Amino acid sequence: MIVQALKWIGGIDGFLELVDQRRLPGEFVKLQCREIEQVYEAIKTLAVRGAPAIGVTAAYGLVLGLRKVTGKDLEAGQVCLEKSCQYLASSRPTAINLFWALDRVKQKAKSLQDEKGAGLNQLLEVVLAEAGAICQEDVEMCRQIGENGEKFITDGAGILTHCNAGALATAGQGTALSVMFEAHKKGRKFRVYADETRPLLQGARLTAWELKQAGIDVTVICDNMVGWLMKQKKINAVITGADRIVANGDAANKIGTYSLSVLAREHNIPFYVAAPSSTFDLSIKGGAEIPIEQRDEDELRFFGDKQITPEGIDIYNPAFDVTDAKDISAIITEKGVIEKPTAEKIAEHLQRAH
């Protein structure tokens, strides 16, 4: 079974339903978002997470924002849409899909300015339709990523993945985990090592849960066990997702990914990044320019409700790091595979894709 992380229910007066990922694996709870503030809070607090899922969620959130407009005036609706985009864009800074989805909906909505007699209802319909299109495209892109990448998983392989890049992180069946789902469909037998992914344990809580639901052999390990497993030759490939890939191929992903890429290089293990083309940000040349989100100190200060650090200790809690393109064996997208990515190869790949 592959879970559906998010779903819009109803028409322009409907609501967004999300799996509350903060409660997994102990509880399977769904949130019903009927206000834009609920969508912002869900993104900010990681009730919904993963770059593609954040983008789709935000696109649907614009419908809820527009419902606050009184009257039927299109101009008032466009002003509200702009403010709603700015509001949701402030929720998290690193995942490019958030900004890509908001901008795409906003650009689509501008087409109404030339339609005589268009009002708020038409704007709501256009925004909902575009959000739905982004959602359905993500479902298809996830499947294609899996089909393009499954060849990298061989019978008997040990695969390491970091954080969660599965169905819970997208509108479809995931990015990195989609590769595994497609290899599993072909009858290949392999073992996935899901590292815990401190401090919020997305690997232990979410990835392990998803893979178990799908019937894939999964073993949870601590983050600091990876190097030893590699030395023991238990890991044959690393496959992760990405939250932003810039022009030269550097890729931002959950904190700890960079360390895995260095270990993989040292042990001659291929390191693959699976992500849709919407994750590329060609406006940034290199990884040093990617904005890195700083998370709440209490994520490190506490484990559950128990404080685990002394009072008065400084905390540094970046949510992401950047893997150098030179340490990436290939980037797997819905349009194909970019082997040993460079700026030239990425530009050519995306131009061909478009």
Shortest CA distance to 66 belongs to which of 91, 92, 85?
A: 85
Among residues 195, 243, 250, 321, which one is catalytic? 243
336 bridge partner residues? 333
Contact 58, 102 (CB under 8 A): yes
What are the DSSP E strand ranges found in the chain?
A: 6-9, 15-19, 30-33, 158-161, 191-195, 217-221, 237-240, 244-246, 251-254, 271-274, 280-281, 302-303, 306-307, 320-323, 330-333, 336-339
CA quadruple 150, 151, 155, 159: dihedral, nearest 10: -60
- CA nearest neighbour of 94 among 276, 242, 274, 244: 244
Which of the 8 DSSP states describes residue 5?
-
109: left (phi over 0), alpha (psi -120 to 50) or beta: alpha
Q: Count of residues for the chain?
A: 354
Residue 221: C-alpha distances to residues 175, 195, 333 (Å)? 21, 5, 27
**Pairing status of strand 320-323 against strand 306-307:** unpaired
Q: Do 204 and 171 form a contact (C-beta atoms < 8 A)?
A: no
Paired residues of 246 in beta bridges: 281
Q: Report the greatest alpha carbon distance in the chain.
A: 69
- What tokens were used for 292? 């890195």
H-helix or E-strand containing 20? none
* CB distance 166 to 210 below 8 Å: yes
243 noted as active-site residue:
yes
Phi and psi (nearest 5°) for 251? -130, 125
Cβ(153)–Cβ(30) below 8 Å: no
Could you list the active site residues? Answer: 243
